[in-house]
Chain A
Amino acid sequence: DVKVTQSSRYLVKRTGEKVFLECVQDMDHENMFWYRQDPGLGLRLIYFSYDVKMKEKGDIPEGYSVSREKKERFSLILESASTNQTSMYLCASRNRRGLAGVVEKTQYFGPGTRLLVL
């Protein structure tokens, strides 16, 4: 089974702090994703990484940055936390090629980090 882990389940930070959210997957997946989840809005993509050291902005990248120095680890950084970044953050990974080289779109999710910014 694919396992995606996130460093914290709950986090409380103060406005202006720099916040690091860590995600690790154990299946050698090329692609990794960071989403935020807010009630009534579903999941919105913050950043995406094709592979090591590669990243692309998603739909809501403002106020966030990412780092992918190793294939298994994808970090989300809130440079200066603000109260409107209080949310549930979900990490996911994807294997680009499934069985027989078929394009695979399934994403596997971690348990989430619920962040409260005061």
Chain B
Amino acid sequence: AQSVTQLGSHVSVSEGALVLLRCNYSSSVPPYLFWYVQYPNQGLQLLLKYTSAATLVKGINGFEAEFKKSETSFHLTKPSAHMSDAAEYFCAVSESGSDSSYKLIFGSGTRLLVRP
């Protein structure tokens, strides 16, 4: 069965510091992987996705993530945090290739706090 683990329910960084949010997945087939962001009292917005093309994926707002099959990881990074990055971030996994596999399996989320 597929699963997603996000290490750290809360991550705190200073403005201008590196952001690193961790995501590890388990999947018996090559996965599709997603990062979504949720700002307070809003729905989820797609940040970026991996669909078996380039292993380094660039997303919106300066975020990027690298797919590492050997480590079953898809960590999210941003070189320099901005106050507006404060939000909750969700990693999700889905099976690739199968149209009938509609599910996205979500991690429990990581809340990013940015200190001035």
Residues of A that sit less than 8 Å from B by CB:
4, 9, 31, 40-43, 45, 48, 50, 90, 92, 94, 96, 103, 105-112, 114
Contacts and interface: CB of A to CB of B under 8 A. Distances in A.
A106 B109 CA distance: 18
Choose among A90, A94, A103, A112 the residue with the greatest number of B CB atoms under 10 Å from its CB: A103
B49 interface: yes
A94 B102 contact: yes
Interface string B19-53: 00000000000001010100001111110010100
B108 A42 contact: yes
Interface of B: 9, 32, 34, 36, 41-46, 49, 51, 90, 94, 96-99, 102-104, 106-109
B5 to A, nearest CB: 11
28 contacts: A4-B43, A9-B41, A40-B9, A40-B108, A42-B109, A43-B106, A45-B103, A48-B102, A48-B103, A50-B102, A90-B43, A94-B102, A96-B99, A103-B96, A103-B97, A105-B49, A105-B51, A105-B94, A105-B102, A106-B34, A106-B49, A107-B104, A108-B46, A109-B36, A110-B43, A111-B43, A112-B41, A114-B41
